[in-house]
Amino acid sequence: MALQLGDEAPDFTAETTEGTIHFHEWLGDGWGVLFSHPKDFTPVCTTELGATAKLKDEFARRNAKVVAISVDSVESHKGWIPDIEETQGTSMNFPIIADPDKTVANLYGMIHPNASDTVTVRSVFWIGPDKKVKAMLTYPQSTGRNFQEILRVLDSLQLTSKFQVSTPADWTSGGDVIIAPAIDDAAAKEKFPKGWETKRPYLRLTPQPDL
């Protein structure tokens, strides 16, 4: 059965470029972002891993760990890393999981037969401190991911897990958010002392509550 939002992220033990990890234990009590790439020594993946390495401090500031995976071996990953570092002007600072037997790829549904029977497509999984899958996103092999969007989704997930709000279209951290329609105005006065703007009874905008 396909992995769904709210499911527990499958646990696994795997070899990585930074040694053996037990996934849930490695995540600890923070957030996690697991993302797959189709193959080592490919151009789009090279740019993606470089972009992720440059954002290490941003993920750390959000108490989040990132880890990549493909069905290549640890030896292949380690052979590829110098290319990433040289072409992208950064140092690799997060692990890449080796999954040559496709165990993890199949647990997470990363292989789409209509695209390829053997290649992991560009999937992203946001995992909460409770080890539940909070969001998923899948791109075709040809389309590189926007890692600012991956951070933006993480910001939204973290905010909405703490407050009864939703984030509107194109929201970025610091922007107004939407008060959950289930909260009536009387309760909203206590929960959102900064006040709100009522566009419609079901659409009330309030300043981001943790700022």
| pLDDT at 111 exceeding the cut of 90 | no
The reply to whether 199 and 131 lie within a common domain is: no
Query: How confident is the model at residue 142, as a pLDDT?
Result: 85
Domain assignment of residue 175, yes or no:
yes
| Catalytically active residues, by annotation | 45
Residue-number span of the structural domain to which 115 is assigned? 13-144
- Confidence band of 115 (pLDDT split at 50, 70, 90): low
Q: What is the mean pLDDT of residues 32-55?
A: 96
% the chain with pLDDT above 70:
96
Same domain as 187, residue 100: no
Q: What does pLDDT average to over the chain?
A: 94
CB atoms within 10 A of CB 119: 18
Whether residue 25 is found in the same domain as residue 109: yes
The model's pTM is 0.94
Q: In this structure, are residues 103 and 110 in contact, taking their beta carbons and an 8 Å threshold?
A: no
Contact by Cβ (8 Å): 177, 186: no
Does one domain contain both 95 and 61? Answer: yes
Once rounded to an integer, what is the mean pLDDT over residues 133-137? 97
Residue 57 pLDDT: 97
